[in-house]
């Protein structure tokens, strides 16, 4: 033993090298090992390798999964714990333009940075299984899955109104746009008609909804997906247009209010608008439609607080009572939802109410029960109301019914007369699946001159990205791939025709939709994955990542997985059995009155206030999201350089519960670093560099007190780690170390057990001390210790004695003391008797092992 003090840098390098030399974390793949042990697949959401490198938020989830992977390995599981790169994407393409390099080169550089940073933390990934969604070996299979989607009729081209982002020069999916802006960058998005690839995710809406039930996911994420899918039950009702041989269908969730429909509204894009508008109204209607269609989403939603619309001059016939009601055009009705047409019931719908008041349209009450007059406020409650004014031509009536019964009754009536039917409507739209970018998967599609789209066969894969000289759209607005050389763009089809390749590419989500499957068998060049590997490893047992993917990635991946399930390519309906979202790590920032930010090292604290060192100016402090512009980003390399990877890992988990947001505090890293030094000193005498002289070869029970603390600690660390409550597991290990620091004797056996539960958390330190203790083999592969339930309780435990619910005394008694003994002991207490005084004892509540409460 040469080194005396704890030197993280030295031991971390040493053990990372050993692990690599011994291939300690290779995923087992020989059939015998696989068959003989249970499996555990623990997965991180793989990162997009940005140019900025890792920040301390990334390793938070990675550390948690690594602790889990290491513990499961020690418990005898075959563990699959891989890492890879979500490597296609726009930032690399933009950097390529900026630096005049190929996106692949930028991507490779960023991946090397990320990998290096991740590896310094000593994670037990199987790097033999590293994947990269932008490598041909990978994306040929993404293209292959696209063929499966196409074969099933789930991929199609359509002229659709798209979210076009001029700044990025590409279209975006609904899921990527919020309030008329791209969620990532905030760039505004416009509405445009374009011919684009779509994936029919709506065909899976009900299954995506139903199968949420079986998942061990945070309730909030399930709820967000339910909201996004947005199932609602209602009815479609057909309305005739008066004086025309035309009709249109509306969707409503409240068919019970049909008698209260006083007008109808068509979306500006509705095909009937043109046909039914009267000459008198034509000018106004055309102007309105033109303006509405060209409005950006931002104008149509967020800013449009007051409604607008124009009367078409035409009238519809309400099928239940034969009354003619006006047909309006208004952009508060969306073309993309339902049928793009509604019946308006101002008495019982807030939006219709607002519109009716604005344009002085009639309001007819058909459900009674509102608190305020119907002219003032729409009554939308479905639980209490009773139907009124709802008697039809042929004596049909739903008057007197409650809303739910009225809905069922009228749907039946509409269906009998073939003028309507029950309808389940989803908010979910089909997934816009093409992008006008270079750095993405090319589609295995060729277009012929006569407009036919031909899908290429499996044998034609991969379709490799061609080299092009500029990564920008062409002058006439076609995607960058239109710049590709002719020998790429032009393809001779098997029948001799010449076609042109599709020049759109797939969105970044494509690669991440199935990467968890490629990890199962990443080097297979015959198949995307083998059946045996899929059967063995799937589903993912634990999936950890940020909540920002609650809808996007997680919904898309579930959709693809279900398609693969229908193709017989996977055996589970769902890919991710348990999902866990880690909370964001925030940081303190410092700002002066003018709003200028300062780095933490530029600021000092005096009496609870903060001042700039240089000029004494007072600054305020706040907790914010880490950001370069706020000067509060914490770099993991610095933390590791100063305290070591083990301290970094420990602090990431000790900060608080994994799922909550919490601020990074450097002072607290020192705390866990001190803890690791204390562990070091339990084994190593820093003065001599020899083993601590208190270490003995006596059995564990020779140090009875410490042995009890050990067993309690094993139990708590085991349970808390399984339940992803690593912060309290670490607290318990601190309790053990505090106890051991003052213990007279340290049996080798006890230290060995403790080091094994510490190993998943601080693996480098644990390996080093394990070796120092003279143990054979890697601690990372040692068996997880068992705890003895009997040793988890003390011989005497504190029993609280309350009088009228207030603690008055505390007695040390055996944990298995009976009710009578506890009561007797409590009543014998001097202090307790003082509080009872002369009062009569009315009741005594005894909770064995806990407390006695005397009620007077």
* 582 binds RNA, rule: CB under 7 A: no
* 342 binds RNA, rule: CB under 7 A: yes
Q: Within 10 Å of residue 39's Cβ, how many Cβ atoms?
A: 16
In the range 437-456, which residues lie near RNA by CB under 7 A? none
Phi-psi region of 141 (alpha: psi -120 to 50; beta: other; left: phi over 0): alpha
**CA–CA gap between residue 635 and residue 478 (Å, rounded):** 41
* 715 binds RNA, rule: CB under 7 A: no
Q: Which stretch binds RNA (CB under 7 A): 49-57, 412-420, 515-523, 664-672?
A: 664-672
In the range 248-267, which residues lie near RNA by CB under 7 A? 251-254, 267
Q: Distances in Å between the alpha carbon of 575 and those of 541, 543, 561?
A: 9, 10, 7
* 725 binds RNA, rule: CB under 7 A: yes
Per the CB < 8 A criterion, the answer to whether 295 and 266 are in contact is no
In the range 147-206, which residues lie near RNA by CB under 7 A? 178
Tokens 């239109």, residue located: 482
Nearer to RNA, 672 or 755 (CB): 672
In the range 344-373, which residues lie near RNA by CB under 7 A? 349, 351, 354
Q: How many residues bind RNA (CB under 7 A)?
A: 81
Which of 51, 671, 814, 848 is close enough to bind RNA by CB under 7 A? Answer: 671
Which of 227, 474, 535, 622 is close enough to bind RNA by CB under 7 A? Answer: 227
Closest approach of RNA to the CB of residue 691, in Å:
17
Q: Which stretch binds RNA (CB under 7 A): 137-145, 450-458, 508-516, 804-812?
A: 804-812
3-state secondary structure of 736: helix
Instruction: Kindly provide the b/e burial profile for residues 436-449, where b requires at least 16 CB atoms within 10 angstroms of the residue's own CB.
Output: bbbbbbbbbbbbee
Token pair of 578 as six digits: 């348990």
Q: Which stretch binds RNA (CB under 7 A): 46-54, 279-287, 384-392, 674-682?
A: 674-682
Closest C-alpha to 57, from 548, 583, 659: 583
Closest approach of RNA to the CB of residue 437, in Å:
23
Closest approach of RNA to the CB of residue 843, in Å:
6
DSSP string, 247-263: EEEEEES-GGGGGG--E
Which of 33, 206, 232, 745 is close enough to bind RNA by CB under 7 A? Answer: 232
In the range 780-799, which residues lie near RNA by CB under 7 A? 798
Tokens 């479905």, residue located: 382
Which of 193, 424, 567, 847 is close enough to bind RNA by CB under 7 A? Answer: 847
* 547 binds RNA, rule: CB under 7 A: yes
Nearer to RNA, 735 or 836 (CB): 735
C-alpha 179, offset from chain centre? 20
Closest approach of RNA to the CB of residue 833, in Å:
12
* 634 binds RNA, rule: CB under 7 A: no
Q: Distances in Å between the alpha carbon of 574 and those of 213, 433, 486, 547?
A: 11, 22, 43, 19
* 1 binds RNA, rule: CB under 7 A: no
Nearer to RNA, 569 or 672 (CB): 672
Closest approach of RNA to the CB of residue 733, in Å:
8
Tokens 């003032």, residue located: 376
Q: Within 10 Å of residue 492's Cβ, how many Cβ atoms?
A: 10
Closest approach of RNA to the CB of residue 832, in Å:
10
**CA–CA gap between residue 389 and residue 399 (Å, rounded):** 7
Token pair of 103 as six digits: 């996106």
Which of 109, 300, 357, 694 is close enough to bind RNA by CB under 7 A? Answer: 300
Closest C-alpha to 124, from 274, 1, 22: 22
In the range 551-570, which residues lie near RNA by CB under 7 A? 551
DSSP string, 808-825: EEEEEE-TT--HHHHHHH
Binding map of RNA across residues 729-768, x = CB under 7 A, - = no contact: -xx--xx--x--xx--------------------------
Burial class of residue 520 (count of CB atoms within 10 Å of its CB; 0-12, 13-18, 19+): buried
Closest approach of RNA to the CB of residue 751, in Å:
16
Which of 119, 135, 301, 692 is close enough to bind RNA by CB under 7 A? Answer: 301
Closest approach of RNA to the CB of residue 342, in Å:
5
Per the CB < 8 A criterion, the answer to whether 693 and 744 are in contact is no
């Amino acid at each position: 033993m040469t080194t005396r003090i704890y030197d993280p840098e030295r031991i971390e390098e040493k053990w990372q090298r050993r692990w690599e030399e011994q291939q300690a974390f290779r995923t087992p793949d020989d059939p015998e090992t696989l068959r003989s042990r249970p499996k555990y697949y623990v997965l991180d959401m793989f990162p997009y390798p940005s140019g900025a490198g890792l920040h301390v938020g990334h390793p938070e989830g990675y550390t948690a999964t690594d602790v889990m992977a290491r513990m499961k390995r020690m418990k005898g599981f075959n563990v699959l714990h891989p890492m890879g790169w979500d490597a296609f994407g726009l930032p690399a393409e933009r950097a390529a333009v900026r630096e005049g390099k190929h996106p692949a080169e930028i991507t490779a550089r960023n991946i090397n940075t990320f990998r290096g940073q991740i590896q310094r933390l000593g994670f037990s990934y199987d790097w033999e299984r590293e994947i990269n969604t932008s490598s041909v070996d990978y994306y040929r299979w993404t293209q292959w899955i696209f063929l499966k989607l196409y074969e099933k009729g789930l991929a199609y081209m359509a002229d659709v109104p798209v979210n076009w982002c001029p700044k990025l020069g590409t279209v975006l999916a609904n899921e990527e746009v919020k309030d008329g802006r791209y969620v990532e960058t905030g760039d505004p998005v416009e509405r445009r008609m374009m011919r684009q690839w779509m994936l029919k995710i709506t065909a899976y809406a009900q299954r995506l909804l139903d199968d949420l039930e079986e998942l061990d996911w945070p309730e909030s994420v399930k709820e967000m997906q339910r909201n996004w899918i947005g199932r609602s039950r209602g009815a479609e009702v057909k309305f005739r247009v008066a004086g025309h041989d035309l009709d249109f269908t509306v969707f409503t969730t409240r068919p019970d209010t049909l008698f209260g429909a006083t007008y109808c509204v068509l979306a500006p894009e509705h095909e009937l608008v043109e046909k039914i508008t009267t000459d008198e109204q034509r000018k106004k209607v055309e102007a309105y439609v033109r303006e509405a269609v060209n409005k950006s989403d931002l104008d149509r939603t967020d800013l449009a607080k007051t409604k607008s619309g124009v009367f078409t001059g035409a009238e519809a016939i309400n099928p239940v009572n034969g009354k003619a009601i006006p047909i309006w055009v208004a952009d508060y009705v969306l073309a993309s939802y339902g049928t793009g047409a509604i019946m308006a019931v101002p008495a019982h719908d807030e939006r219709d109410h607002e519109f009716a008041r604005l344009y002085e349209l009639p309001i007819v009450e058909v459900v009674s029960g509102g608190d305020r007059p119907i002219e003032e406020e729409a009554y939308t409650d479905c639980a209490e109301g009773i139907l009124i004014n709802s008697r039809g031509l042929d004596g049909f009536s739903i008057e007197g019914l409650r809303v739910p019964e009225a809905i069922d009754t009228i749907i039946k009536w509409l269906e009998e007369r073939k003028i309507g039917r029950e309808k389940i409507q989803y908010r979910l739209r089909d997934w816009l699946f093409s992008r006008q970018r270079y750095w993405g998967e090319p589609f295995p599609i060729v277009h012929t001159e006569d407009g036919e789209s031909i899908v290429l066969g499996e044998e034609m894969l991969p379709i490799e990205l061609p080299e092009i000289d500029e990564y920008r759209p062409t002058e006439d607005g076609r995607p960058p791939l239109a710049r590709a050389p002719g020998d790429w763009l032009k393809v001779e089809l098997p029948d001799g025709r010449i076609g042109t390749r599709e020049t759109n590419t797939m969105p970044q989500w494509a690669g991440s939709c199935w990467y968890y499957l490629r990890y199962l068998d990443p080097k297979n060049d015959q198949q995307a994955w083998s059946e045996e590997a899929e059967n063995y490893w799937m589903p993912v047992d634990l999936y950890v990542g940020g909540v920002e993917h609650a809808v996007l990635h997680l919904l898309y991946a579930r959709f693809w997985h279900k398609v693969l399930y229908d193709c017989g390519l996977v055996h589970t309906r769902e890919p991710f059995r348990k999902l866990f979202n880690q909370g964001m790590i925030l940081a303190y920032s410092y700002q002066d009155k003018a709003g200028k930010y300062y780095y933490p090292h530029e600021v000092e604290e005096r009496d609870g206030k903060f001042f700039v060192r240089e000029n004494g100016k007072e600054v305020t402090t706040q907790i914010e999201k880490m950001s370069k512009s706020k000067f509060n980003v914490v770099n993991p390399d610095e933390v590791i350089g100063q305290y070591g990877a083990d301290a970094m890992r420990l602090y990431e988990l000790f900060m608080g519960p994994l799922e909550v947001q919490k601020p990074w505090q450097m002072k607290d890293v020192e705390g866990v670093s001190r803890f690791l030094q204390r562990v070091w000193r339990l084994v190593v005498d820093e003065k001599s560099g020899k083993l601590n002289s208190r270490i003995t070869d006596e059995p564990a029970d020779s140090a009875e007190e410490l042995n009890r603390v050990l067993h309690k600690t094993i139990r708590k660390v085991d349970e808390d780690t399984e339940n992803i409550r690593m912060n309290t597991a670490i607290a318990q290990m601190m309790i053990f170390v505090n106890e051991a620091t003052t213990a007279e004797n340290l049996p080798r056996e006890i230290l060995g057990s403790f080091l094994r539960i510490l190993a998943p958390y601080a693996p480098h330190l644990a390996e080093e001390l394990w070796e120092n203790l003279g143990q054979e083999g890697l601690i990372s592969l040692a068996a997880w210790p068992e705890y003895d339930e009997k040793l988890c309780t003390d011989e005497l435990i504190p029993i609280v004695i309350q009088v009228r619910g207030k603690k008055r005394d505390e007695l040390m008694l055996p944990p298995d003391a009976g009710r009578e003994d506890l009561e007797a002991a409590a009543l014998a207490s001097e202090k307790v008797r003082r509080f009872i005084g002369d009062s009569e004892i009315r009741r005594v509540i005894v909770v064995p092992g806990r407390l006695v409460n005397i009620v007077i």
